[in-house]
Amino acid sequence: MPSDPLSDAAAGTLEVDVAIIGGGMVGASLAVALGATPLRVLLAESVPLSSQAQPSFDERTTALGNASRRIFGGLGVWDALRPDAAAIRTIHVSEAGRFGFARLVAAEQGIDAFGYVVANRRVGAALWQQLTAAARVQVHAPADASGFELAASAVGFTLRDPHGGERQVRARLAVAADGAHSQLRAAAGIAAEVEDYQQVALVANVATEPRQRDVAYERFTDAGPLAVLPLQDGSCAVIWACSPERAQRLLALPDAQWLAQLQQQFGWRAGRFTRAGRRASYPLKLTRAATTAAQRTVLIGNAAQALHPVAGQGFNLGLRDAAMLAEVIADHPQDPGAPQVLQQFADWRARDRRGVVGFTDSLVKLFSSTRPGVGLLRNMGLLLFDLTPPAKSALARVSAGFGGPTPRLARGLPLLHV
């Protein structure tokens, strides 16, 4: 994994086949996947790999669906993650103040688990470790990419390190994996629609009595959805969406008062909350790019769509983006940035992307609606869902995507044809 300091402009222009801008979990996954190909790949990340400022590898946790588990298996990172992954074998959905609930059990669907909860930092470490064996992937971190110029044959840009080193780069394909505020997306002239949910996600790990195993809770409250996910050590990850004002107050509380507020809002299904870890927060917005492909440029992950964390679909969707893009590129190594290649990627991902965005956005709006009678309908809907096996089976398949071709890696197949 070459990561030499950048030389000055006198060294000439660096020519690569694929430049990935952004080294978070989605960008790093794509880099690992492309490491199996003969292509020249560059990964640029503006934050040092060990920094706590890396937004993709922060204190949050991620619920990996089974398709994501298979992708990570194909990338060679699942064995490193498995010891720290907590299985989700039951999902319990409820609404605060109402009697309706729904419960999904993995065994009833003929599977071992719906997914696995893993700390983001652990995912990041496993991906970066795998990159050390990718001889044809150049990693530059920290390094800023700027001055993007799109042309018919390549995307040019400047790569700068914190020490003043600078290098001009030309890539036959530039991949925007640099998040919801993507600079590459803006440089490509791709518009993005942003909808502010007027919510903040407050995240923390908490200990419970009794210790938690295998059950994920999604509780819809009048302030926003509240998820409690199992962790491998028996504690829980809490993702609490609420108003910015309430989040600010909760962040300022001493641990004992914060736990009391959490207990009051969530109830006792997960037992008694006894100890709290460090709390953090981030704003919740829906960002949707108008398209995922432009001249020699393609968007994946949050650069293409940044979602509300309800139902835990954002990263799983982004990872399928990376897996499908890697597959399309591997099938067209002669010119990975050709217009027909990028259009194929955009077409193949459109249905899944549209379905997941619509699903999560509808959940947020349905359970935040205060219109008369809507609450009763939601309550009856949860009860009906709990009594309808076909509906449960359909929801259990959500982590595999909402349609369109399934990436080979997500089906447990190798990226390259053998």
Instruction: Produce one character per residue of 336-358: b if its CB has 16 or more CB atoms within 10 Å, e if not.
Output: bbeeebbebbbebbeebbebbbe
Tell me the pTM: 0.92
Q: What gap in Å lies between CA 30 and CA 326, rounded to an integer? A: 6
| Residue pLDDT, tens place only, 58-84 | 668 999 999 999 999 999 999 999 999
Does the residue 262 lie in any domain? no
- 135 is written with which tokens? 């001889």
218 lies in a domain?
no
Residue 332 within a domain: yes
> How many alpha carbons lie under 13 Å from residue 104 in its C-beta half-sphere?
28
Residue 188 inside a domain? The answer is yes
Instruction: Tell me whether residue 203 is in a domain.
Output: no
| H or E element that contains 364 | helix 339-368
Question: Rounded to 5 degrees, what are φ and ψ at 193?
Answer: -90, 130
Place of tokens 């939601």: 378
Identify the weakest region by mean pLDDT among 206-215, 350-359, 375-384: 375-384
Give the length of the chain. Answer: 418
Q: Which of 54-58, 130-134, 322-326 has the highest mean pLDDT?
A: 322-326
| Cα separations in angstroms, 105 against 91, 109, 219 | 7, 7, 17
**Residue 127 belongs to a domain:** yes
114 touches 240 (CB < 8 A) = no
Residues 9, 13, 16: CA angle, nearest 5 degrees = 140
CB 31 within 8 A of CB 139: yes
Q: What is the domain extent for residue 155?
A: 9-193+285-411
> Is 228 part of a structural domain of the chain?
no
pLDDT of residue 8: 42
Between vectors from CA 184 to CA 5 and to CA 49, what angle results, nearest 5°?
40
pLDDT tens profile 261-311: 999 999 999 999 999 999 999 999 999 999 999 999 999 999 999 999 988
- Using only C-alpha atoms, the chain has a radius of gyration, in whole angstroms, of 22
Distance CA 19, CA 338 (A): 14
Asked if 13 contacts 290 with a C-beta cutoff of 8 angstroms, the reply is no
User: For the chain, what is the domain count?
Assistant: 1
Flag whether 211 is in a domain. no
Q: Do the beta carbons of residue 39 and residue 329 sit within 8 Å?
A: yes
pLDDT in tens, 81-115: 999 999 999 989 888 767 778 888 999 889 999 99
Q: Which residue bears the tokens 């060679």?
A: 76
**For the domain that residue 37 is a member of, what is the CATH number?**
3.50.50.60
